[in-house]
Amino acid sequence: MMRTGREGVSAFSFSVRKMQPQRAAESEENMGLDLNYEAEVFVDTESLSREDWLSFRRKGIGGSDAAAIMGMSPFCTKRDLYYDKLGIQPVVDEEEDNWVAKEVGHRLEDLVAEIFSRKTGLKVYPVRKMFRHPLYPFMLADVDFFIDFPDGTKGILECKTTNYNCQNKWANDSTPVNYEYQGRHYMAVMNIDRMYFACLYGNNENEFFIRYMERDMDIEEDLIAEEEYFWKENVGKGAEPDYTEKPDLVLESIRKHCGPADKDAEQVKLGRRYLGSIRKYMELKELKAQHDGEAKKLEEKMKEAYAEIVEAMGTSCTAVITDGGTQYVLSYNPSYRTGIDKKGLERLKVQHPDVYDDYVNTTESRRFSVKMKGAA
């Protein structure tokens, strides 16, 4: 039987076990963090609309924001988060962009919690409130479920769903780093020392990950420092944070905030401060061209090597060569792609414009290049 304790939530009075005085004193001495606190209720979320919930969330830093602040989010830069908190442009993560994945994750939270409870024998229950750290009030936490441990202490359960293609992110008993920071943020806000992640990646209870994590005060101190700087120095002072993330994520962020390309826009005149970046780009481009040239030559030699084999295979897609105890199984398989070429697309546009408009969409990509010209 699932032990979620969902009934009677509105009357539930939540409190967090305080750390033992000796341990708290040792931690404060070693880490400089005051651990003598209880999380405050920021807002009751039971009846909040999605829009109101997002509005309250923008009043501080939530658990899912932590990875972006630490430069470890796979879908969001610190600049994106900055724009979100100021209400300029909301952050849309890879799951939110796919409404089905988002809805599946939301609807299966209770199921994931039930599977976890059955597997561990632990009582889990939701508390429909958004909490905040009393010492760092910009730190917010909207926890999925709480856990009652047999020793009387409390823990956190964060429920996730994924698919077969992404289960490798949980391989070797690991937890995706963005979720790890989310969990550490929650433990800091709630003053709780341990938590679990539960992730369903299939359609039965055996396709299920359980990951355990304890509080790490070294990481927590760094996390709080980074979040405090972001909230006070960036959001508070209206100062855009620098881009420090991976290039593809940065370029996507720039494209998103700058908008689509405008071929009629005036040419931008840049200052000499960008010359270093231009020279570095051109050096790397030349280096890449050298490697690409070598790779192309090798690929041509590989084709020379197997050309006579392909001729011998004729229309067959497989062949075998036996050399003593070794057998070489060869394949030369076709690949097919169904599509409309440029001429066919033009005919469709002219002959069936209504169909063309309904099914053809335009996506934008931009290619960076540099040409050197003599001074005019």
The model's pLDDT over 100-130, given as tens digits with 9 standing for 90+, comes to 777 787 889 999 999 999 999 999 999 999 9
pLDDT per position as a tens digit, 292-313? 989 999 988 988 888 888 888 8
pLDDT band at 92, cuts 50/70/90?
low
Q: Give the pLDDT confidence score for residue 137 in this predicted structure.
A: 97
Q: Residues 22-53: pLDDT tens digits?
A: 434 444 444 578 899 999 999 999 999 989 99
Q: What is the pLDDT of residue 103?
A: 79
**What percent of the chain has a predicted confidence (pLDDT) above 90?**
50
Mean pLDDT rounded to a whole number for the chain: 85
Q: What is the pTM (predicted TM-score) of this model?
A: 0.75
In percent, the amount of the chain with pLDDT more than 70 equals 86
Flag whether pLDDT at 84 surpasses 60: yes
Q: What is the pLDDT of residue 369?
A: 65
Say if residues 155 and 146 touch (Cβ distance below 8 Å).
Answer: yes
Residues of the chain with CATH 3.90.320.10: 9-248
Question: Mind listing the pLDDT tens digit for each residue in 330-361?
Answer: 888 888 878 787 888 888 888 888 887 887 77
Question: What is the dotted CATH code of the domain comprising 9-248?
Answer: 3.90.320.10
